[in-house]
Structure 1
């Protein structure tokens, strides 16, 4: 059962079935108890009326056996009187259906001989109060279930026994009156049959409704699945899944899926541009180097060794940049060494003596960050290279603390970066000066690498306008903890 609709329908049907069965059993139990209590009440009324007449020694009419059969027994279980027409009885102390000649017991003879003043506080063996002559016992009634057979038909009855003492001779007897339970059995049977018929119908309705509702709810999901399948086969990431607009979980799923597709499309497009630009950038130095080597092989005297070395170095730097970008894109985590950022800047500047534009460093001691020494040195080097490439007379590098951050600012006095291009320069293979030759410029990877490294170290890299009018690059990194 792999269908969500089937699982939901079966699950809902089982839950409803369990609830209906439990509720049905409770209703049947409560109905049966109420009907039995009603029968007991009817039997009690008849028993008390008969017991009152028995206590007053009135003539007893026990001829209504079919409606309220009555049996009167004494303390020894001897039948004093019984409704006529009974063929068998159970559920009372005596199974006899004919009156019997009862002999008084020794206890009764002794009680008759005692003075009436000694019997005022007498009680029976179970502690219940004996009724006065001519009265019905005020204690609890005896309630039991049994059967009565009349004309060969046996039915269940609810019996209630009430004790009474006859006024004439002081004889004590218990009047048992029965009320038929046929109505209770019929009502319970009718309700039970109705439930047995209605339960399957109800379960079929529940299963059908659950199937239809689930199918309707999962319709947009099926549309999303089909569209995703089509995207997978066509590899067209510009396509989007349909959004139902229902503002529910499925609608949010569709929006999230489209956002994922958009991010994936942008990533794939960025990767394609990266591969194309990398191929283009690698083609130039490789072609130049090959040309110089072929010329040198044919005419050794014309071999431009410095040019070949320069192309080789440039090719090596480009390969190193591409490798670093590949590691960053793969999610490589930086190291956690403690680095004095001021010392790193000074070390990078110290390797630049003789450059066209000098670099002035302003830094305090002990400004430490946590990260990869080689990657942060690459960031500082890329910022200095970019500043010296565009400066006229001066480049300034400043390292300072700013709250929980260490800030490195590299400023030049060149033309600066136009405001609408300040984010674009951090894209890969972007060079704003199209008239610049490749030898004077670069591959357009330095600033992209610098920002990626800064972000992966928990910081950021931005560009603004320097006081001298040039570009001001600001690198922020968290203080080492």
Structure 2
């Protein structure tokens, strides 16, 4: 059961059914209450009409025995001021709800003047009604009565009337509630039958609609499971021909897969290139050491040291790239970028530095490495001169490194920042390096919220421009 309710479709169906059920119960209750109120109000009107007709006869002087109390089998009681039943429907056998349980009239006592009395003379009248006046107020109660052996529920109306020589009389008249109860019972039966059917329809429709809506999600899930099993990141999940959240989810998933494929491919290429770059100096170093072990007089110590330095630099580059790829946040130190540029330019031949003070925040070591890589690249390709400038421009720190070499072709101006890329295929690794310097420089710039681009310099060579946010 718990597993069945674990699906979105089951929970949506259950939720919709419960909500509709609560709404139907509330609406059904309101309808039944309103129906009963209206129908019982109509019964009260009928009972009031009967009570006022009897009260009118009494006000006109009609004797108790001459009252018409058996119309439509509606129970009627007439009670005097002392609470004695003085008139009632002939076939009334039992009654409740009027406050007077008697069903047979009591004989009124004879007064001294020979008139029938109720035991309540004019001195007992509260004076609220004048002789012959019928009270405008009416009260209603619910009860039951047995008339001619038939027991039923009734709505009773109570009306007072002032009768000369009889005092204040109270008339209780009832109207049956059987028709009203039958209507309410019929409505309740219809609801008890119809509501479950309606809930079944709601549940079925919700189940079908959610299955149709979630079918693309199941397709996405199945394709993702297949991609995970096959490890084929070139595959993509199906995008439904809609413009809803599921379609946006599919597109976002494909974008994530594309980014993941690019990242994995980049890592594979990185590992392959790194292995290739490491193989050459390691093989060279091993050869020199083996020759030195067999023939010490032939050992090229300078070459071995050079290969070791190359290995050390390559390992440092790979470690820095790994830290940058891992998302290492740069330090939040504040320093003068011009001072860093002058430190890296010190001791280099053919460099011209024009640096104004510009304060930035970040890792001094990483930005120093960035500047050093740009200077190394410029000196490697310059014919005779390299110019470095530092200035503040439009709220950014700008570092420009220009050389008078051959420059970078337009089509290669983004490719030069890829890892292990050397545009000059004929250039030796000893002269050209491993092709990681500009890639490291671009990654450091991005990590510091900046940019690194290349374009043509005024002297015809390459102009690398670094832009960083200032404090």
Task: Name the TM-score class by shorter chain.
Answer: over 0.9
Q: Deviations over 1:177-224 (max 9, x none)?
A: 110011111111111111111122122111111111111111111111
Q: Could you tell me whether the CA contact under 8 Å between 2:93 and 2:149 is conserved in 1?
A: yes
Aligned-residue RMSD, C-alpha: 1.6
Q: Deviations over 1:248-296 (max 9, x none)?
A: 0111000000000000000000011101111111111111111122222
- Going from structure 1 to structure 2, the CA distance change for 1:108 and 1:61 (only over 3 Å counts) comes to closer
Q: Distance in 1 between matches of 2:23 and 2:198?
A: 12
Q: Could you tell me whether the CA contact under 8 Å between 1:65 and 1:84 is conserved in 2?
A: no
2:155 maps to 1:158: yes
Between 101-110 and 461-470, the greater mean CA deviation after superposition: 101-110
* Paired position in structure 1 for 2:353: 361
Q: Could you tell me whether the CA contact under 8 Å between 2:369 and 2:441 is conserved in 1?
A: yes
- Going from structure 1 to structure 2, the CA distance change for 1:223 and 1:13 (only over 3 Å counts) comes to same
2:23 maps to 1:13: no
* Paired position in structure 2 for 1:57: 61
Q: CA deviation at 1:62?
A: 2.7
- Going from structure 1 to structure 2, the CA distance change for 1:176 and 1:80 (only over 3 Å counts) comes to same
The 3-state SS of whatever aligns with 2:429 is: coil
Q: Could you tell me whether the CA contact under 8 Å between 2:118 and 2:166 is conserved in 1?
A: no
Which structure 1 residue ranges, 5 or more long, are not aligned? 112-121
Q: Distance in 2 between matches of 1:61 and 1:101?
A: 15
2:442 maps to 1:451: yes
Q: CA deviation at 1:305?
A: 1.6
* Paired position in structure 1 for 2:198: 202
* Paired position in structure 1 for 2:35: 31
Q: Could you tell me whether the CA contact under 8 Å between 1:426 and 1:448 is conserved in 2?
A: yes
Counterpart selection for 2:296 from 294, 300, 319: 300
* Paired position in structure 1 for 2:114: none
The 3-state SS of whatever aligns with 1:333 is: coil
Counterpart selection for 2:184 from 180, 183, 188: 188
* Paired position in structure 2 for 1:135: 133
Q: CA deviation at 1:58?
A: 3.6
Which structure 2 residue ranges, 5 or more long, are not aligned? 110-116
Q: Could you tell me whether the CA contact under 8 Å between 1:285 and 1:315 is conserved in 2?
A: yes
Q: Distance in 2 between matches of 1:447 and 1:474?
A: 12
Q: Could you tell me whether the CA contact under 8 Å between 1:296 and 1:303 is conserved in 2?
A: yes
TM-score (norm 2): 0.94
2:246 maps to 1:219: no
Q: Distance in 2 between matches of 1:107 and 1:454?
A: 112
Q: Could you tell me whether the CA contact under 8 Å between 1:337 and 1:372 is conserved in 2?
A: yes
- Going from structure 1 to structure 2, the CA distance change for 1:149 and 1:75 (only over 3 Å counts) comes to same
Q: Deviations over 1:147-202 (max 9, x none)?
A: 111233211111111112235x3533122111001111111111111111112212
* Paired position in structure 1 for 2:456: 465
Q: Distance in 1 between matches of 2:386 and 2:272?
A: 34
Q: Distance in 1 between matches of 2:183 and 2:359?
A: 90
Q: CA deviation at 1:105?
A: 6.9
* Paired position in structure 1 for 2:99: 93
Q: Distance in 2 between matches of 1:14 and 1:237?
A: 43
Q: How many residue pairs are counted as aligned between the two chains? A: 458
Q: Distance in 1 between matches of 2:205 and 2:68?
A: 60
* Paired position in structure 2 for 1:76: 82
* Paired position in structure 2 for 1:371: 362
Q: Distance in 2 between matches of 1:137 and 1:321?
A: 108
Q: Could you tell me whether the CA contact under 8 Å between 1:67 and 1:180 is conserved in 2?
A: no
Task: State the 4+ residue runs in structure 1 displaced beyond 6 angstroms.
Answer: none
